[in-house]
Amino acid sequence: MGRDTHREPTFLAAITAEKECLMITAKPSVPQCSSDQALHVARLDAERAYGDLNGYRVTVELQSDGWHVDYDLIDPTLDGGGPHYVIDPASRAIISKRYEQ
């Protein structure tokens, strides 16, 4: 009779295969809210608080805690500052806001 060459996978091989499967099936989290949508949410609130926003440079950046929308004065000789927001990328809600005036 021939020798059975079928071998059971070792425990380590089984764990490695399981991890590979998990890595393949895992999907990166994708924000449901675009940068334009986050900017729109922040702009509506900023216009209520500040009125005219023409003197501010706006930046939008997705970070681990949400969309950061920052309004900074264009003219560095002016005192004060603009509003700063963190927008939830899933719900579009304002997580935090800070006004510099």
Helix (H) or strand (E) run with residue 8 in it: none
What is 35-99's CATH number?
Answer: 3.10.450
Tell me the residue type at 73. Answer: L
Mean pLDDT score across all residues of the chain: 80
pLDDT greater than 50 at residue 20: no
- Which of the 8 DSSP states describes residue 7? -
- Its pTM stands at 0.68
Parallel/antiparallel/unpaired status of strands 94-99 and 83-87: antiparallel
pLDDT greater than 90 at residue 50: yes
What is the rounded distance in angstroms from the CA atom of residue 26 to the CA atom of residue 95? Answer: 27
